[in-house]
Amino acid sequence: MNNSTCPNTSSPLVRHIFYAYLGLLLVLGLLLNGLALWVFCCRLRKWTETHIYMVNLAAADLCLLCTLPFMLFSMNKDNSGDTVLCQLSQGIYLVNRYMSISLIMAIAVDRYVAVRHPLCGRGLRSPKQAGAVCAVLWVLVVGSQLLRWVLKDQEGGFCFGNPSRQKPQTVVFSLLGFYLPLAVLVFCSLQVVTALGQRPAADVGQMEATRKAACMIWANLVVFVVCFLPLHVVLTWRLATGLNTCVIQDILHITSKVSDANCCLDAICYYYMTKEFQEASALAGTPAAKAHKSQDSLCVTVA
């Protein structure tokens, strides 16, 4: 792998655009995720599986956003050594990126179980079990990042300004942490959209609510792919070719910042997704649907 050190040749205009982008992400992300946490923790009396997942997702996004100023500070400093602040902020950043990815996967699985296997879902879905799933995901993600740090410690740790210090075995953690959730998310999303499309509509209102719910699933999948896929494609290319040129480092930097936008989009997408699924559930109106109300509520609701 080419471990050349690339000089910082970006123009003042590029740096200003970069700072403005980070500032916008910080303001919107802190506002949206902070508001989501306030609503879930202070305004809702009943906790559901989805609420627990979304609280953890908002917390992970907030933690990631809070590392951005430290990342910017570290990137503007001399990169010859890794400070404690740099290593800590990098670790928190990576933990919460892949925790967000894992939680999005968990929400998709929870929705899939509710829609495709409603009878089994009665025993598999509960707030306590959702909390246990979140706890396990936190342990796995934090543990994997600690292992990354141990594997890279002999090279000086891992830090924002040292992309050339990436080792193949540590990149594998990132790739597995994305491609596995991506496969699960695609499968679950297709299954849920298919199930919603096959559900007979009682009236125009039910049909429209079901259509909106399906659209939100597609929107969520598109947001996930657009935010995270470019970064991991570049990581895959670098691992496969062994190249780590300045151009690849610049592309990694750009795609990494694109992935950070997911912190803002999560709050918007999942708010409307929960709303549309609640409407789809509430508008079930045929006698047959009412006769199977308990089953239908599991089939079309994520909240």
pLDDT in tens, 100-124: 999 999 999 988 888 888 777 677 7
Q: What is the mean pLDDT of the chain?
A: 76
Domain boundaries defined on the chain? 12-300
| Percent of the chain scoring above 70 in pLDDT | 73
| Torsion sign over Cα 266, 175, 226, 116 | negative
Give the pLDDT confidence score for residue 124 in this predicted structure: 77
pTM above 0.85, yes or no: no
Q: Please check the confidence at residue 85 and state whether its pLDDT lies above 70.
A: yes
Token couple for 231? 């970064």
Mean pLDDT of 251-269: 85
Per-residue pLDDT of 235-258, as tens digits, reads 888 888 877 777 888 888 889 889
Q: Which residue has the higher pLDDT, 188 or 290?
A: 188
Mean pLDDT of 65-75: 79
Report how far residue 25's alpha carbon sits from residue 31's, in angstroms, rounded to the nearest whole number.
10
Confidence of residue 163 (pLDDT cuts 50, 70, 90): low
Give the pLDDT confidence score for residue 102 in this predicted structure: 93
| Torsion sign over Cα 286, 290, 295, 299 | positive
Give the pLDDT confidence score for residue 269 in this predicted structure: 67
What CATH class has 12-300?
mainly alpha
Per-residue pLDDT of 176-216, as tens digits, reads 889 999 999 999 999 988 888 777 666 666 677 777 778 88
DSSP notation for 48-80: -HHHHHHHHHHHHHHHHHHHHHHHHHHHTS-TT
Q: How far is CA 299 from the centre of its chain?
A: 24
Q: Please check the confidence at residue 217 and state whether its pLDDT lies above 70.
A: yes
